Structure 1
Amino acid sequence: MSVQSVTGGAPAPLPSPVRLGDVLDPDCPSRVILDHLTSKWGVLVLIVLRGRTVRFGELRRSIGIVSERMLAQTLRVLEADGFVARKEFPVVPLHVEYSLTPLGEGAAEKVHALVDWVQSNQFVAAE
């Protein structure tokens, strides 16, 4: 059994005891990715970056109360997972832009649908 690699290359083999899609298995690698995508700040980063390229400051202002440190950490994790692309321009002061990779756009689409559902049902769920 294999899973598509994050870089879009050939499928990478899964560890032998783990089955694809077995997120209930504590050793399933999907759990780590789900944790990153569905974290408080991860969801908001995906929503803001969906279909856009933005600088760090604009991203932070769009999200609101996130600290610089937490936003930078979230971006690093999502970049390492292959969801966020970081483009650095060699100017002073440093100019960095963030956007979603094709994989990130796909994930953002799914997260956006979940956010829409939550917002549509927030009063129903509270009753």
Structure 2
Amino acid sequence: MADLGYEGSRDLHRLDQEDRVRAHRPAADQLAAGTRPSPRRLEFLAGLLTEHRQQSGSRWRKLSPARQALLVLVHLRCGDSLAQLAVSFDVSPTTCYRYVGEADALLAAQAPSLE
């Protein structure tokens, strides 16, 4: 094996760590049966997100509306942290924060007024 020098070996070590994290992250699609969101809830939230994206003219997102809905419902149901969700869904914690906030606002708009 060629000598990569200090910087090269550090890069290889970092890649090894990332591979281990990916190998051990929980697959969002393989949730325990008791924590799996219902298909009806997924479809409802995915529909809201799809409509919102079309109205706002959003061009591209890392996750589809269905995957975003799954991320949000897992967060609400299981209480997973944004960092855990970021690893599971292969997005940044900042993206998780935005996705959860966006869905939260859409769901809140559906709620009846208390007035």
TM-score, length-normalised on structure 2?
0.32
TM-score, length-normalised on structure 1?
0.30
Give the structure, 1 or 2, with the largest relative contact order (CA under 8 Å, sep 6 or more).
2
Q: Which has the larger radius of gyration?
A: 2
Q: Which has the higher helix share?
A: 2
